[in-house]
Structure 1
C-alpha cells in the first residue's frame, strides 16, 4: 500500500519532469497523508500543430477517491489506494481507469514493517538514483449533494518488488517517463491497453532507509523524518501553544 509519501522537488522541477504547464509555487512536503491535497497531472487539450508547449494540466485533488455514484461519503471507505489487479473491473475505479488516468509526482514514499500485527519500523523508500518518480493515479470528480464539486484521487498499487517485499507486500505503481503519454492517453488507450504498465518497479530501483517513528505523526512535516537513525526524542518542541513550530508544515489545505 501507499499511505504516506513526499514531494520535495521545486515546482519548476516537478513541471519539467512531467512536461506539465507551470504550477503555482508550493513548499517541500515531507509527510503527505490521505485526505490531504496531492498534485496530479492529466492530459489536457492537444497543443497546436508544431507547438512545443506542454499540454499536461496540473490538478490539486483530495487524496481519497470518491466515485461519482456515492450518496453518503460518511458511509463510504477512504479509497486512497486502488489495487491494480482489480481496478479495471471494480465499480469504484473502473470509470476513472477508462477516462481519468493521472500521474502523481513524488520524491519517494514511506512504508512500515509490521511486527506481530502492529506497525513497526518505518522506512523512507526513495529512488536509488534520486530525482522524481510518478505514481499511477486515478481521478474522480465528486458532486456533493449541495451542488459543489470536489476533485478526488487514488494511487494504484501492485505486489511489491523483491527489494521492498521484506518490508511490505504492496507498493505504488511507478510509471516510467517513456510511458507517461500512453498511460495518460484515455482517448485511444483503453485500460486493457495499459495493463502491462501496472507492474512492480524493477529490482534495485528503490532503496529503503530506516527512519524513526516521527513519520507516524502527520504533524511532523520537516526533513528530519527522512533522516537515517533519528530517534523519536529528536521530535521538535511545541511553541507553547500546544503546536510544534511549522506543524502545518506547508502541507496545504483543500477545504
Structure 2
C-alpha cells in the first residue's frame, strides 16, 4: 500500500524534470495524503500538469465519502477489477514524487515511519490512473489512484507492497494510449532496490496536518508516540 508520499521540489524543478508546464502555483509538499489536491500528468494532457484529488471514487459508488475512496490499485488485477480496468485502458497518469512513506511494525502497538527515496533523492513518477468524480453537489472533479506491486528487497523489510515507480524511459509510453496492454503490464514491476534507499523519519508524519520540511528529515528511529526505539 502507498498511503503517504512527498513532492518536496519546486515548480521549476518539476517543469524541467517532466518537460511539462504548470500554470498553477505550487509549493513543495512534504506529507501528501489521500483526498488532497496534487499535481499529475495525464494521458489527455501530457505537456502540462493537472491538479487532481488523490482517491478514486468508482463509477458504481458515486458520492461516497473520502474514507471510501480507492487510493491504491493492485497491478496484478488492474485489467480485471471493474473499478479500474477502463481507466487503465484510457486514463493513465504520472504521479510525480520524490519519496514515499511506510511504517514498520515492531510490536503489537509500535510502528516506526520510514521514507523511501532514490539514492540522489531526485524526482520520479508513480504509475497512476485517473477518473472523473461527481461530487454531492453534482460538480465534476478529477481523481487518481496509485498502482502498487510486490515489494523490492528494500521495501520488503517494511511492507508487503510498494507503489509502482516507472522507469524514466517508460513514462512517455505509459501516457501513450497506443501502448499495448502487454507492454504496459511489463512496466508494473518492483523498482530496482539498488537504486533506492530508506531512512527513519519523525512520527510527526503520522499527522496529515504536518506538512513541513521537518517531516522528511532523517531522525533516530521513533515509534508513533515519539519514543526512541532500538528498531531501525
Q: TM-score, normalised by structure 2?
A: 0.89
Which is helix-richer, 1 or 2?
2
2:115 counterpart of 1:121: no
Matching of residues 107-118 of structure 1 within 5 Å: 107-116=98-107, 118=109
Give the superposed CA RMSD: 2.0
Q: Equivalent residue for 1:28?
A: 28
Q: Equivalent residue for 2:208?
A: 218
Structure 1 unpaired stretches of 5+ = 46-54, 234-255
Q: State the alpha-carbon separation in 1 of the partners of residues 8 and 182 from structure 2.
A: 33
Q: Equivalent residue for 2:230?
A: none
Structure 2 unpaired stretches of 5+ = 228-232
The structure whose Rg is larger is 1
Distance 1:74 1:34, change over 3 A: closer
Distance 1:222 1:98, change over 3 A: same
Q: Equivalent residue for 2:18?
A: 18
Stretch deviating more after TM superposition (200-209 or 75-84): 75-84
Distance 1:80 1:89, change over 3 A: same
Per-residue deviation, 1:203: 2.2
Q: Equivalent residue for 1:203?
A: 193
Aligned counterpart for 1:101 among listed residues 88, 92, 115: 92
Q: Equivalent residue for 1:143?
A: 134
Q: State the alpha-carbon separation in 1 of the partners of residues 67 and 213 from structure 2.
A: 33
Q: State the alpha-carbon separation in 2 of the partners of residues 87 and 119 from structure 1.
A: 33
Matching of residues 150-189 of structure 1 within 5 Å: 150-186=141-177, 188-189=178-179
Per-residue deviation, 1:145: 5.7
Deviations, residues 217-240 of structure 1 (Å, cap 9, x unaligned):
11111111222226649xxxxxxx
Q: TM-score, normalised by structure 1?
A: 0.81
Q: State the alpha-carbon separation in 1 of the partners of residues 165 and 156 from structure 2.
A: 16
Per-residue deviation, 1:43: 3.2
